[in-house]
Amino acid sequence: MVYVLALIAAILVSQAIQAADDLLSKLGAISLAHGVLVGYVEIYVCKHLMEWIGLSLDWLVVLLVALSALAVSLIKIHRTGTRWILAFNFGVLAGVVAGGFLLV
At 44 the pLDDT is 92
Q: Rounded to whole angstroms, how far apart are CA atoms 66 and 96?
A: 6
In degrees, rounded to 5, the angle at the alpha carbon of residue 97 between the alpha carbons of residues 28 and 4 is 105
The torsion of the CA quartet 11, 13, 90, 47, rounded to 10 degrees, works out to: -80
Per-residue confidence in pLDDT tens, the chain, 104 aa: 888 898 888 888 888 888 877 776 665 556 677 788 888 998 999 999 999 999 998 999 899 999 988 888 888 778 877 766 777 788 888 899 999 998 88
Q: What does the DSSP 8-state code read for residue 104?
A: -
Q: Where are the domains of the chain?
A: 2-20+30-103
At 48 the pLDDT is 92
At 29 the pLDDT is 52
Secondary structure (DSSP) of 3-61? HHHHHHHHHHHHHHHHHHHHHHHTTS---HHHHHHHHHHHHHHHHHHHHHHT----HHH
Model confidence pTM above 0.85: no
At 47 the pLDDT is 92
Q: Rounded to whole angstroms, how far apart are CA atoms 8 and 11?
A: 5
